[in-house]
A and B are shown apart, each in its own frame.
Chain A
Amino acid sequence: MDSRLARGPDEDLERALRELGRSVPFPPDRDLSGPVGARLRAEGPPRGSVVRMPLGLRPARTLRRAVILAAALLVLAAGIAVAGRLGLPGVRVIFSKTPPTLPPTASPSPPQGSPTPGAPGSALGLGERVTLQQARSSVGFPVRVPSLAGLGAPDLVYRSYDLPGGRVSLVYTPRPGFPAAVDGVGLLVTQFHGQAERTLLEKMAGPGTKVRGVRVHGYPGLWFSGAPHEILYLGPGGRIEQDTIRLSGDALIWQEGGVILRLEGAPNLAEALRVANSMG
């Protein structure tokens, strides 16, 4: 009986797991170098070479001003005219001529017929579930929470350490004005330490994405709407961290007191700003 594995020595359990692994039906081996190579040759040199060109952008030494300048250069390089100012410390927007290659975001309604095995947001890779107090005491920045009447307290709080200083995500289940977007989540507020020199947040915006400069509490912010866009962080050492969260595709991002905040799931800019401005 399995009690042998449950209570036996580690080695037995580990051996059993290795043996189990040998019977997992992995897909058959196939050579991907042909199709990958063909695509790369068809697309030309790495797009990212444009990123390197302007300033040899390395997060550790990047100055705030350089980030803004690089963003402006990228916009020019991509031949896309964008009205207004796009400078947002710690955030870099990369425009591409082609839309992000990820498939479009799932339809706004949650998948039908599949029972939710976990809590809302648990499938979004937000980290561990914690209490708000635990989150506050374990990350390197002050955690802000919306106080908008009618919104109430976040239903769930997640914390992860995939970025220096940690990252906290507040999850609100669907409620009036904030219908479910993905995985039982109506509104998602993410925040993390965003020193311009250390962490860069990139948005890869395709041709269908609109970007608008806004102000939150007087701080600079950006509103992304329209076509889905993907989010890439440049983590420590220049490692690229691809964000995995995509709700409606519309997002408000702003920087306040060294913290970058992102709000997703609001039905429009006005609602997003109402929530954002209520965050003390």
Chain B
Amino acid sequence: MEGRPLEDAELVDRAGRGDVSAYEELVRRHQRVAVRVAFLVGGSAAEAEDAAQEAFVKAFRALPRFRAGAPFRPWLLAIVANEARNRRRAAGRRDRLAARFAAVEGEDRPRGDAAPSPEEAVLAGEDREALLRALSTMRPEDRLVIAYRYFLELPEAETAAALGWPRGTVKSRLSRALGRLREALGKNDVSEVEGADHG
């Protein structure tokens, strides 16, 4: 690269004129979030990388239709999320994020990740299980908006793009999803403390 890193927009422009090297730089910049979105949507670690790769190839082909000057990442994530969803359906898989959550407990820690941080250890035991259980009962869209915002910390524009929602609706839908998460957590209480009055 030259003296300063190029902006995404410049790389997109070059890639749109057929510069594959410029596009490779875009891939490197966004592959991590792309694979993670694919994983959250598709529920399969094995498929996530393939889905992200395919999405990058499709996005490249679609670059001539990309609006110049628009941010690249939301657009890319919309394609990634669609690709992952299509693959999940084609494979006849259900939304397996719930199952993945349920399995987190027994999984090996992901390679490359550090040991649990002290903060992580704070969320242990019952709270953690209750959250996982509550999330697994929620609708895929609710779960995804929560996962995008809190697990991946995606900005609203990217969350909206990945979900195919109008940008302005993310805040209110997230708020409703959190409300339903609270309800689900409350139900967990009821099932465990039978007969308790939770008003």
Contact A46 B91 (CB under 8 A): no
Query: Quick one: which of B91, B119, B164 contacts A160, CB cutoff 8 A?
Result: B164
Query: Quick one: which of A22, A34, A106, A110 contacts B91, CB cutoff 8 A?
Result: A106
Residues 12-28 of A, flagged 1 when their CB comes within 8 A of B and 0 if not, give 01101111111111111
Q: Is A244 an interface residue (CB 8 A)?
A: yes
Residue in A closest to B116 when the chains form the complex, CB atoms: A23
Known contacts A21-B152, A31-B28, A102-B90: A239-B70 contact under CB 8 Å: yes
B7 to chain A, nearest CB (A): 18
A7 to chain B, nearest CB (A): 7
Residues of the A chain whose Cβ atoms lie less than 8 Å from the Cβ of B146: 17
B interface vs A, CB < 8 Å? 16, 18, 20-21, 23-25, 27-28, 31-32, 34-36, 39, 45-46, 48-49, 52-54, 56-58, 60-67, 70, 75, 78-79, 82-83, 85-87, 89-95, 100-101, 104, 107-112, 116-117, 119-120, 122-123, 126-128, 130-132, 134, 139-140, 146-147, 150-153, 164-166, 169, 178, 181-183, 185-186, 188-189, 192
Contact B67 A17 (CB under 8 A): no
Contact B86 A246 (CB under 8 A): yes
Residues of the B chain whose Cβ atoms lie less than 8 Å from the Cβ of A37: 20-21, 23-24, 27
Known contacts A13-B178, A28-B111, A37-B24: A239-B164 contact under CB 8 Å: no
Contact B70 A25 (CB under 8 A): no
Known contacts A25-B107, A35-B53: A244-B86 contact under CB 8 Å: yes
Q: Is A45 an interface residue (CB 8 A)?
A: yes
CA distance A13 to B23 in the complex (A): 39
Which A residues from 32 to 71 make CB contacts under 8 A with B? 32-37, 39-41, 43, 45-49, 51-52, 57
Contact B45 A102 (CB under 8 A): no
Residues of the B chain whose Cβ atoms lie less than 8 Å from the Cβ of A232: 62
Contact A6 B119 (CB under 8 A): no
The list of the 4 closest CB pairs from A to B, nearest first, reads A21-B151, A2-B130, A111-B92, A6-B185
Per DSSP, chain B at the interface is helix
CA distance A1 to B185 in the complex (A): 10
Contact A6 B110 (CB under 8 A): no
Residues of the B chain whose Cβ atoms lie less than 8 Å from the Cβ of A3: 185-186, 189
Query: Quick one: which of B36, B85, B119 contacts A19, CB cutoff 8 A?
Result: B119
Residue in B closest to A14 when the chains form the complex, CB atoms: B150
Residue with the highest number of chain B CB atoms closer than 10 Å, among A4, A30, A104, A114: A30
Query: Quick one: which of B25, B49, B178, B188 contacts A33, CB cutoff 8 A?
Result: B25
Contact A51 B93 (CB under 8 A): no
Residues of the A chain whose Cβ atoms lie less than 8 Å from the Cβ of B65: 48, 51-52, 57, 234, 238, 240
A196 to chain B, nearest CB (A): 16
Known contacts A103-B90, A106-B90, A160-B164: A47-B61 contact under CB 8 Å: yes
A-B contact pairs, 11 of them (CB 8 A): A2-B185, A16-B127, A20-B131, A20-B132, A26-B35, A32-B49, A116-B94, A232-B62, A240-B78, A244-B82, A246-B86
Contact B39 A26 (CB under 8 A): yes
Known contacts A2-B126, A106-B92: A22-B112 contact under CB 8 Å: no
Beyond the given pairs A3-B189, A182-B89, 4 more chain A to chain B contacts, judged by CB atoms under 8 angstroms and listed by A's residue number, are A24-B104, A31-B31, A52-B65, A238-B67
Residues of the A chain whose Cβ atoms lie less than 8 Å from the Cβ of B63: 46, 48
Contact B45 A25 (CB under 8 A): yes
